[in-house]
Structure formats: C-alpha cells, structure tokens
Structure 1
Amino acid sequence: MFAFIRAPHDLAAIHAYLHRYRDRPATLRAYTRELERLILWAVVVRGVAVSSMTVEDCEAYKDFLSAPSPAFTGPKQSRAGGRWRPFAPGGLSADSQAYAVRVLRAAFAWLVEVRYLAGNPWSAVHDPVTVTREVAVQVRRALPADLWTGLRAVLDARCAGDDAEGQDAEARQWRTARAAILLMGDSGLRRDEAAHARRENLRLSPRPSGGAPVWALTVTGKRRRQRTVPVSAATVRALREHWADRGRDFDAPLDSAPLIVPLVIPATGPALEKHGGAVEAPYSADAFGHLVRQAIQRMTVEFGARPDVPKAHLVQLANTSAHAFRHTFGTRAVAREVSRLTVPVL
C-alpha cells in the first residue's frame, strides 16, 4: 500500500490536511489550533508520535481537554513570545471539547483515506457529553437600549476631534472604532464578517415597496454562506468619515477595498510585513476585536465618572466584547417585532 500524499513525517501530513482549507481562513485557523494542541500534548505529555496514537491515547487526550495541566494554560499572549500557551485558564467548555474531538476524528479519517495511516483510533472515541441548547438571542449579552444610545453619543463626541495634531489623530482612530461598532450593532455582523467586509459589496438597493433605496451589504459568513444585511444611514455616515480619513472617496465609482482598515500600523515585524506589501490590508478578526475592546474600555472609564449611569451598566460595558454588538442588534430587532425567523443565529 502506498500513500497518496508525499509526507515524510507526521507534521508534513498534517500540513497537507490543513492545506485543503487554505481558502477558508476561519476554518483553517480553528483546525490548526486543535491539531497543534494535540501534537504538543502527544509529544510532551504522552511521548508518542501522532501517527502512533492508540485508542487509549485518544481517550487520555479527551480527558486532558477537560482539565489541561497548568503547564499548558495561560492568558492570551503573542505566539511569538515565550509565555504563549495553547489553552486559556480554566480549560475548555464541554462544547469546545466535543468540537475538538470531532475535528481530530475528521483529520485522522482523511489521513486514513489518503493511506498515510492504517486506521483511525478516534473512530472508537465517543464525543464528550454536551447539552444541546436552544438557539436564542442572548439578551444578557446585548446592551440595553439606553446604554446603546449613550454609547453612540459618546462615540460621536470622541470622533469630533479638533485641529490639534495629536487630538485629530486620536479622533481618526475613534472614527475607525465607531465605524466598526456601528457595522456590527446596526447590521448584526460577526467580528470576522465586519473585518473582511468590502466596499464593492455595499450597494444601494431599491425597496420592494418603493420609496428611497437602502444600503445593503453582502458578506460571506460561517460555512461560506453568503447573506445580505441592511446597513443603517448612521453606519454609512461613519464609513464615509473613516474613508475620508484614509484619503478615499466613499461615493466614488465602486472600488475594490476593505470597508474598514487600520490607520495606524504597529511597529512590529508581523504587522509591518502584513501591511507593507498590501494596499489597505483589512484588519484580522482578532485585531478588529481588539480595536473595539480598546474603545469600549476607554468609554467605560468615561461612563464611570457619570453619576447617572447605573453600576450594572458599567459592569456590562466593562465585559462587552465585539460579539456583544451582534446580540445587541438581534435583541433590538426582536423588540421591533421583526420575525424571529429573520433574526440571525447568534
């Protein structure tokens, strides 16, 4: 029997498997993470090669996922640093454990299919027990209406800026954050969808019942599913100002460019390498989330100085992530009596 791939060792075989997902960056990132964790555990803890794993090894790793050892856990760090760890403190949720097992089972099945492995030990391992939860809008993660309104008012004030060089540069960064937050909060986009949204996919569309046309944005989301979402007038105004900061005309004939791009590039090797050879490279999903979190943290301090802001609002704002704005959109849509069937799964 000969293998269908030219892989002299396990790492090359795994790279061959991951190469199948080169055109699906989110999937590639997730699968790489799971396989990387397994390789580290197999070599460091079990002392076996991935291709030599038995059912007993797989069961041991399945148990490890529920309670990773301290040597494998740590706060989020740059992968280039010595403090990076493959797991966050507290281990994985039951759903994440089950996801990891399914990813590994599928990867080993492919390695068997291409004749790199003789058999798949994960086929004899059951998924961790999970509870299938009702898919619903997570109201607790959504910002209350008054907090959402107040947040937008603070954003607008921060974006105004003045003629001072330093303050104007800060205002430009705030205008970038405002465009990002409104794109998620008013259109219900996921972080990755908003980060990779493009100008050529944002168009004016006529209303079915007549009247003024509306802006609509087509994005490609999970599982490569394409969908079109409405974009509010406030979001379009925010995008126009962000484009003006870039020296671009938002209303020029359709251009091929990301809707939102970094105006300040960190002076780090990876950042300079990514942006040096590209014209207006978009944010990565993580960098997009970091942009939003930084803005929220700074606004939380400002809200904390106001006696009229409830403490509960401050706590929620301090724990708000980029994804919370998607829940905010869904909650507001349901409150406006939009059919639950048309509200996106969050």
Structure 2
Amino acid sequence: MTKPMPDIDKSATPEPFFALSKLENAPASTLDGTSGINRATLTPWITASNDSEAIKAWLRNFDAESHTYRAYEKEALRLLLWAVLEQKKPLSSLVTDDFEDYFKFLANPPTHWVSTARVERESPEWAPLRAPLKPSSIKQAKVILNAMMIWLVNARYLAGNPLAIVRQKRSSQIKRPSRYLPMTTWEFFWDWLETWPEMTDRQQRDKLRIQMLFSLLYVTAARLSDVAQATMGDLRQDDDGYWWWHVVGKGDKEGEIPITPELLGWIKRYRILNGLSPLPSPGEKIALFFRSNGPSEERLSDSVIYRTVTKTMRKAAAEADIREQFDISARLRDASTHWMRHTALTHQAQAGMNIVTIKANARHNSIATTSKYLHDEEKLRHKENRDQVHIRKSHGD
C-alpha cells in the first residue's frame, strides 16, 4: 500500500526529520502555502487550500499503486520538505533562485538529509535521500517537478512556473545528446513493451498495434509523413518474392523501402488480429496504421501518430525512473518519431551495414548526409590503428 504523503503541519509531523516545531514558532499558514506569494488570484479549479493538498490533487492523476505515482510523489515530497525546512518558506512562495539552490542542494546535501539504510518513512532513521543525486537524477527531478508546476499553474493554484526559467537557462548550457536511442535504451524499451498485458481482446489489439508501429519505424527508418500517408496497398511483393514499401517522400520523391521477413510477420499478425487477410492486396486502401477501433481507410494525421509514439515513450521512461535507469529514462522522455528514424539508421551503421545501403534506406541524396549516423566511426578508426599500426611488428609494443 502506498504511504500517504504527509501534510506540512507542525502539530502532526513525527520526529526527527519532520520536526517543523524547530522553525522559530512560525505560524503554520506561513509554511503550508495558504498565503504563498505565487498563489493564483483566480479561483482554483482544484479543491486545495495549501501546497500539500495541491500536490495531492496532482498526484491523483496517477494510479496510487503504480511506480509512476511513487516516483512523482518522492520528488514532490523532497521539494516540499526542502522548501519548508531549508528555505523556511512554502513551496508556493519559491522563486527561480530557490529552484537553482534546490538542484545544487540535491547534488551536495547535508548528512541529515541522507539515510544510507532503506527504512519506512515513519521511522526516525528516515531521510529524503539515499545519496547525493547524480546529474542524470537531478535532470529527471527537473522534468518531473516542471510537469507538476505546469499542472498547478493550469489548475489555477499557482500564478506562474518559476522552474521554467531554470530549464531555459540550463538548456543553452548543456550539450544535447545525439537524437537517437542507444542499443541498450532500445532493448529496454522493447523488453518493456513486451510486458504489456494482453488478457483481453482489446489489450491484445492495443499491444500489437504499438508493436507493429515501432517495428515499422525501426526497420524502415520511415519519416512520420511516410507512415501517415501509407496504405496497406503500398506494400508490394516483387517477382522474386521480396516485399517493398512504396513511399512518396520529401519533394514528391518516390522510393522503395525493404520490408524484412520479421517486419512482415508483425504486419501479418496485426492484420489477422483485426480480421484482415494475412497479406495486403494490390491497391488496398486500408491505412497501414489505423485507429485502435479497427481497420479503416481513414489515414491518421501526423500529430496523432506523433502523440502515440511520444506517449508510449513517456510511459517507458516512467518505468526506467522506477528502476533508477535515469540515462535511459532521459533519452526516452525526449524521444520522438524522428528519433526513431535516427535510431534505425544509427543501428544499421553500428551493425556494419554498407553505407551505400544505409543511404538507399534513408533515401538521402548524398553520402555526406548518411555519414552523420556513423557515431562509432572515430572509435573504430582508433581501434583499427591500435590493432594494426605498430612500430615493431614482431610484438606490437
């Protein structure tokens, strides 16, 4: 059973960590957010008179028994406690400088904020942190807390989001990673996807629908517009038995993308489960990727497919958070349909596929464009020099 998040109420908090009675006899209303300086002047759209109640309202958006809930509650509670105990102000009075201080604090907390043992929250030995947070964990805290603050603003509980400025300032200083999923992240995502429930017919259809979509994106390196425009009739078999996807891409440029046997297997299962024949017929007008309620000639918009991909990636990121695989969760949380294209082409290069083949798969006009996906090119060059170039050929030292 999930432990309820404690209210910031001096009369009810257990010793020693929640010992708010030490705070110079400050009235509870000055600490609980009843009169926070960032409170909205409009009538809130949630029933919340103080910061604890507002955070609980936000958390009610999530299943109380889920990993996501526990991860989000943990970050909210840490911030709430830090605001009251360290800054001596309610969460709803925090300004941008406070958030700057908070993230520095997480990287180097005082000893009384750290508990080396895993103990229950009610224990006198409990503390909000198990260790100073790594940069990836702090980045994740920013993401979660920013989402909470945006929600509280939209709920008209807060007047504004001071954390937004922190994110903007930092984004110009931090070099963004290459926009693709490393193989370990992709394998984590696919393994997580395979754990989706399939007890009912609807669950089976939903799961297979998402698996087919990500298989399609990964195997073909397709653009979002390619998927949105495609029909089942665009999949064609040549005289030698090979299957191809005929696309009309950027600048009305036509192309043929190979459909591997593995991908064709996913398409067959997708069709059969939705009452279609295993293989498409020439000229078939049914959308290649259709809505969850069944086959239709209606082609989904770019935005619908984009949201489907990003929403699924965010769910996987939440699971990675729970497993404390924050590098993976950070990638998944930023990922999009175009990331899938970069991921497909990068993995093809890393697997040793000929760059001319990758160029054809990507439908690039120039090899120079394709070469940017050779992320391991310099490492390979260094390894080959290490292994092959020796001053003394007899013993390579």
TM-score, structure 1 normalization: 0.49
Q: Which structure is larger by alpha-carbon Rg, 1 or 2?
A: 2
More contact order relative to length (CA 8 Å, sep ≥ 6): 1
